[in-house]
Amino acid sequence: MVLWSRIKRSPLGSLSAWRKVVYPLMVVMFLSMLGLSIYEIYVQEAGPDASAYIGVPPDNGDLPPADWYGGFLRLKPGADTRFPSNMIDLFETNQPGVVSDDKALYVDGAAIDAVLINATVIGDPTQYRVYAIGKEPQETTTRLLGGGRVLAIQPTSGLWAPGSYIVDAPSGGMFDTSRVYYAFSIK
3-state secondary structure string across the chain = CHHHHHHHHCCCCCHHHHHHHHHHHHHHHHHHHHHHHHHHHHHHHCCCCHHHCEECCCECCCECCCCCCEEEEEECCCCCCCCCCCEEECCEECCCCCCCCCCCCEECHHHEEEEEEECCCCCCHHHCEEEECCCCCCCEEEEEEHHHCEEEEEECCCCCCCEEEEEEEECCCCCCCCEEEEEEEEC
Confidence category of residue 135, pLDDT binned at 50, 70, 90: confident
Name the residue range of residue 132's domain.
50-186
> Do residues 29 and 108 both lie within one domain?
no
Mean pLDDT, residues 57-61: 76
Percentage of residues in the chain having pLDDT higher than 70: 80
> Do residues 142 and 74 both lie within one domain?
yes
> What is the predicted pLDDT for the residue at 52?
58
> What's the pTM value of the predicted model, to 2 decimals?
0.67
> Do residues 93 and 146 both lie within one domain?
yes
Confidence category of residue 133, pLDDT binned at 50, 70, 90: confident
> Do residues 17 and 71 both lie within one domain?
no
Tell me which of 24 and 120 has the higher pLDDT: 24
